[in-house]
Structure 1
Amino acid sequence: MHAHFFSHRFHPHSHDAYSFAVTEAGAQRFRCRGATRTSGAGMVMAFNPDDPHDGEAAADLGYKYRIMHIGPDVVRDVLSDVGTVDRDRVALPLFDEPVLSDPVLRRALLGLHTALVGGAGPLVRDEWLTATVSAMVRRTATRPVRARTLPAGGAQTGAARRARALLEEEYALEIPADRLAAAAGCSRFALYRAFRAEYGMAPSDFQRQLRLRRARGLLVAGCSAAEAAAEAGFADQSHFHRWFVRCFGVTPGTFQRAAGPAFRPAS
C-alpha cells in the first residue's frame, strides 16, 4: 500500500504477517511493545506478526509511507534458499526494534514495493524479495542466517555463465527464478550473488538489456515501437518506452528518426 494520511488515527491492531513500511515524508507516531515510537522521513518500520500497534500523524503535514505485508511462509521459503538450513528447520526471525534507520534496508523495501505494484516480471520480483528478506535478517533480526554462497572462481563463474546462456536463449520469455537457478546449478540467492560478481548486474537487468538491444535493432529495421516492444518481450509499450529512455537517453521514436533509412538493410 502507498498512502498519505493527515488526520487518520489507526485503532490498535496487528497483522498475521511481517509488516515493513518506509516513511517517505512527514512523521508517524505509534505505540508498540509498551513504548511510543516515531518514524520520520527515510526511516523503516518493522512489525513482527501479531505485533499490536496503532498510528497517527506526528507532523502538521501528516505522513506519507509505503507498507508491505510478507507472510511467514514466504519469509521461510526465502531464508531456506538464502541459508544452509532446510525449510522445515528455518527459525523465523524476530525484529526487536520497530523503527530503524537503515539506508540499505530502505532501498531494498522501496525496490520490492515498486516491483510489486509496477507490474514487474517474476524474476525482478523474486530478486527484490530475496534482497529484502536477506537484508532484513542480516541487518536487523535477532536470529541471523548464514548465507549459502558459491566459492569465488570456477564454481561462481560457471553458475553465472549457465544462467546467462539461458537468458540469452529465452530473453523474450518470463523465466521463473527457480528455473534460472536450476540451470545455474545453485540456489537463487547464490546465483544472484554470482551473477552480479561476474557481470556487474542482476539477471533481470541483463535480460532487460538483451530485450532493449533486440528492440533497438527492430526499430532500425523499421518496426514500430509497439511491434519492437512485443517481439522483444516487454509486457507493454509504456514499460518499453520507460526503460528505453532510462538506458539510451532518448525515446524510441527519437532514436528511430535519428537512425533513419541509411541504417536499414537494403531490401
Structure 2
Amino acid sequence: MRTFVHGAAVWDVARPRRRSRVAGVTMAGFRVRDLDALRMVPHPAVTLLLEFGTGAPVVDYAGGRQQRGSVVAGPGIGSGGAVWARGENVECVQVRLSPVIARAVLGVSPADLDGAVVALDDLWGREASRIRERLGEASSWQDRFALTDALLARRYEAGPPVDPEVAWAWDRIVGDRGLVRVDGLAGEVGWSRKRLWSRFRSQLGLPPKRAVKLVRFDHAAHRLVAGEGAARVAADGGYTDQSHLHRDVVAFTGVTPANVAGEPFLAVDDIAWAIAP
C-alpha cells in the first residue's frame, strides 16, 4: 500500500499484484480517513465502487440527489463537475469496467443506468451485501482483489456479450485514442450507420460520437496532469485548436485546462491504476 498526497488529499492506495482474469477489468483499493468533496472526473469506463469500511462514501450528483455506500455509474459520469464523493473512514475497492464487458458483469446495460449513480443493492440485491461482508472479513488487500475478481469473472461468464461489431468499434476508438473518424466505423464493420449507432448506444451506454470525445478528453486530461502544455496537448490530441481543448475540458470537468492538474481524481492514476511490482 502506498500513500498518495496531493494538496490536501492524503489517501492510502493499494493495487493488485496480478491482472484480472477478465479483460477490461482494472481495480484499486482506497483507504481514506477524510474524503473531502472529491470531484469525479468523467472516464471511459463504468465505475463500480465496493465499500466495506466503518464509514460509507456518499456520492452527490445532479439535482441534489445522493447515494451512499456501494454504487455503480456509467461511462462518462460526472460531466461538468456535477458528481462529488465525500465521507469519513472510507475503505473501498474501486473497479473500472470496460463498457464492452459491463453489461455481462452488471446484469444490465450501461444505458439502463441512464446517466445516474445507482446503488449496487438495487442491481445485485443480496449479492451486494455478501461481497461487502466478505471484503470486510478479508485479511489483506490482495485477498480483497482476489474476491472481487472471482465475483466479476463469475458474473461475466454468465452474462450476455455485446455484439462483436460493437466491441470492435469500441476497441478501435480506444486504440486510436479518440482520433478515429466515427462516420467510417459503420462501413468498416459492414453495418449501416443507424444500426451501429443504435446497438452501440443500447449496449455500451453512450453513442459513438460521445465515446470518441470522452476517450480523446481522457488522454488529454492525463497529459495536462503530467504537466504538458495545453497548446501541445491540443495539437497532438485531435483538437482543432487550444480553444477547442478548453471547451471540452470545461464541459467534462467544470474547470479549465490550467486547473485540471489539481484534480486528485486524475493525479492518483499513476499510483492506483497499474499492476503492483
Q: TM-score range by the shorter chain?
A: 0.3 to 0.5
Tell me which structure has the larger Cα radius of gyration.
1
Per the normalisation by structure 2, the TM-score is 0.36
Per the normalisation by structure 1, the TM-score is 0.37
Q: Higher relative CO (CA 8 A, sep ≥ 6), structure 1 or 2?
A: 2
